[in-house]
Amino acid sequence: MYRFFSCELGAGDTVAITGPSGVGKSSLLLAIAGLHPVASGHITLGGIDVGHWPEPALRTALTLMPQRSTLMAGTVAQALRIAADVDDAALWEVLSAVQLDQVVHDCGGLGTQVGAQGQRLSGGEARRLALARALLRRSHVLFLDEPTEGLDEAAAACVLRGVRRVLPDAAILIAAHRKVEIEFADRVISLR
C-alpha cells in the first residue's frame, strides 16, 4: 500500500493529523522532525530539505513533544530549565499556559521535587510539565503528539489556548485523537 501525504504549514497555522491508531501519525511527526527515515518523497522546513539542516539549527527551529516524554529526578524548575535558561517569570508563564501553575504553587513552588520519571506527579501533570518544557524552547515549529491525553475536555481546551498564547506565531502540527484537539486546529488532515 502507498500513502501520500502533503501539507504546507505556515506561521501561526495549526493543523491536526487524524486517523485510527497505528496509521502512522506518530511516525509522520518523527519523519517531519528528521528523526525517522522516509521511503520516498521529501520534507522541507523553510524551503530546505530536513536532511540538509545542521542538527543544532533544526532542533532550535523545531520542537517535537512525543507521546511519551521523559522527566528526570529534580525540581520543577530543573525539569523546565533543561529547555532554556530562563528566569522564574518565564517558568511561571509556561506553567500557567498548561494549567499547571496552581498545582505547582500548591505543592511548594518551583523547588518542588518531581521525582524520577515525574513519579510525584499524575500522568496528566507530568505530560503538561513536558509540554511546558517544550514551550520554553520558543521554536518556530511545534509538533505535538496527543498533547492533551489524560485531560478532561475543558482543561484540554485551556491548555491548547495556552500553547497558542505563548507561541502565537508558531506553526503547530498535532497528531490528534481527541475532538478538542481537532476542533482547535485550523485544518484537519486525515490519514487512512
Is 9 part of a structural domain of the chain? Answer: no
What are the pLDDT digits (tens) for 58-114?
888 899 998 877 777 789 999 999 999 999 999 999 999 999 999 999 989 999 988
Is 160 part of a structural domain of the chain? Answer: yes
Is 5 part of a structural domain of the chain? Answer: no
Is 111 part of a structural domain of the chain? Answer: yes
- Domain residues for 43? 14-190
Set of cell numbers at residue 173: 502540527
What pLDDT score was predicted for residue 44? Answer: 77
Between the alpha carbon of residue 46 and those of residues 11, 38, 148, 171, the distances in Å are 11, 19, 28, 11
Is 184 part of a structural domain of the chain? Answer: yes
If one counts the domains in the chain, the total is 1
What pLDDT score was predicted for residue 141? Answer: 92
Handedness of CA 86, 125, 180, 174 (dihedral sign): positive
147: domain CATH number is 3.40.50.300
Dist CA 166 CA 145 (whole Å): 18
Is 26 part of a structural domain of the chain? Answer: yes
Is 8 part of a structural domain of the chain? Answer: no
Is 7 part of a structural domain of the chain? Answer: no
* CB distance 114 to 79 below 8 Å: yes
Q: What is the mean pLDDT of the chain?
A: 87
What pLDDT score was predicted for residue 51? Answer: 82
pTM of the predicted protein model: 0.89
Dist CA 27 CA 128 (whole Å): 22
